[in-house]
C-alpha cells in the first residue's frame, strides 16, 4: 500500500502549525474517498429496496427497515459516544490510520442505511396504516418524522460535507492540520448531536412497535 508523509500536527489542536515544511515522518495510508469495492454492494441493496417496495410484502419491508434503522442508530450512537471520544484521545498516527480507514466506509454506509430505513419505513407505514392520521399513535409517527428531519439537516448540512472535506484534505501531499482540526471538531460535535437524537428515535420506535 502506498504511503504518504504528513505533518505531526495533523489532527492535533495544541501547537498545530500549517504543514508548510517538509514531511516529518508520519505516514498516511493511501485510500479512496469513496471505496469503489463497496459500490456493487450498495447497488445490490438499492435494487433489493426497489423490489421490496414494488412487491409491498410485509417481511422484506420490515427486514430492510429494521436492518437499516438498527445500523443507522447503532453507528450514530457508537460514533457519537464511543469512537468519537476515543478518536480524540488517540496518538496522532493512530488517529490518521483510523480516520483514513473508517471515514471512507462511512461515506457509503451512512447514506445507504439512511435511504433504506426511510424508504422501507414509509412503505411499511403505508402497508400497516401507520401513516394515516386515523392511526391511534399518529402523534408518535409525526414525532419520528421530526426527529429524522432534524437529524437529516444536521447530517446533510454539516456531517457529510465535513466527512468528505476531511478525506479530501488527507489526500493532499501536505494536508493542513488546522483544516483537519476544524473539520474533525465539527464531525465529533455533530456525531454527538445525532447520537442524542437517536436515543429519541429508539424511544419512538419501541413505542410504535409495542403499541
Partner 1 sequence: MSEGIPAEGARLDEPRLPPVTQLGMASLALIVAGGIYLSAHLPEHVPLTPAIVLLGASVLLFAGNVLALSRVQGFAWGRFFEVARWALLAYALIAGMIEYVFVRNHTSGGPLVVLTLSLVVFAVHVPLLIGFTVARYYET
User: What are the residues binding partner 1 (CB under 8 A)?
Assistant: 9, 11-18, 34, 46, 49-50, 53-54, 56, 84-89, 111, 115, 118-119, 122-123, 126, 131-133, 142, 145-146, 149-150, 152-153, 156-158, 160-162, 164-165, 168-169, 176-179, 181-185, 188-189
Q: From the CB of 171, what's the least distance to partner 1, in Å?
A: 10
Q: Grid coordinates in use for 64?
A: 430492510
Integer Cα distance of 10 and 95 in angstroms? 9
Among residues 19 and 75, whose Cβ is nearest to partner 1?
Answer: 19
Q: Grid coordinates in use for 184?
A: 474533525
Among residues 1 and 168, whose Cβ is nearest to partner 1?
Answer: 168
Among residues 78 and 178, whose Cβ is nearest to partner 1?
Answer: 178
Q: From the CB of 143, what's the least distance to partner 1, in Å?
A: 10
Q: From the CB of 76, what's the least distance to partner 1, in Å?
A: 16
Integer Cα distance of 76 and 135 in angstroms? 29
Q: Grid coordinates in use for 18?
A: 500549517
Q: Which of 110, 113, 137 is nearest to 125 (CA)?
A: 137
Helix and strand numbers, DSSP H then E, in the chain: 7, 2
Q: From the CB of 149, what's the least distance to partner 1, in Å?
A: 4
Q: From the CB of 44, what's the least distance to partner 1, in Å?
A: 14
Among residues 5 and 88, whose Cβ is nearest to partner 1?
Answer: 88
3-class state of residue 28 by DSSP:
strand
DSSP line for 147-194: HHHHHHHHIIIIIHHHHHHHHHHHHSSS--HHHHHHHHHHHHHHHHHH
Among residues 73 and 190, whose Cβ is nearest to partner 1?
Answer: 190
Return phi, psi of residue 13, to 5°: -80, -50
Among residues 1 and 117, whose Cβ is nearest to partner 1?
Answer: 117
Q: From the CB of 87, what's the least distance to partner 1, in Å?
A: 7
Amino acid at each position: 500500500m502506498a504511503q504518504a508523509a504528513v505533518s505531526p500536527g495533523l489532527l492535533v489542536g495544541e501547537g498545530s502549525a500549517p504543514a508548510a515544511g517538509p514531511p516529518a515522518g508520519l505516514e498516511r495510508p493511501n485510500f479512496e474517498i469513496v471505496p469503489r469495492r463497496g459500490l456493487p454492494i450498495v447497488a445490490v441493496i438499492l435494487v433489493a429496496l426497489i423490489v421490496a417496495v414494488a412487491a409491498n410484502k410485509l417481511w422484506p419491508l420490515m427486514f430492510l427497515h429494521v436492518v437499516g434503522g438498527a445500523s443507522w442508530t447503532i453507528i450514530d450512537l457508537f460514533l457519537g459516544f464511543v469512537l468519537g471520544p476515543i478518536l480524540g484521545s488517540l496518538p496522532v498516527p493512530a488517529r490518521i490510520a483510523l480516520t483514513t480507514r473508517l471515514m471512507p466506509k462511512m461515506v457509503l454506509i451512512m447514506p445507504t442505511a439512511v435511504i433504506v430505513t426511510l424508504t422501507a419505513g414509509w412503505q411499511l407505514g403505508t402497508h400497516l396504516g401507520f401513516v394515516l392520521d386515523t392511526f391511534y399513535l399518529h402523534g408518535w409517527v409525526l414525532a419520528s418524522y421530526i426527529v429524522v428531519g432534524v437529524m437529516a439537516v444536521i447530517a446533510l448540512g454539516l456531517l457529510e460535507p465535513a466527512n468528505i472535506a476531511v478525506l479530501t484534505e488527507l489526500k493532499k501531499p501536505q494536508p493542513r492540520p488546522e483544516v483537519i482540526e476544524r473539520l474533525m471538531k465539527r464531525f465529533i460535535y455533530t456525531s454527538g448531536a445525532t447520537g442524542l437524537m437517536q436515543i429519541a428515535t429508539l424511544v419512538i420506535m419501541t413505542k410504535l412497535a409495542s403499541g
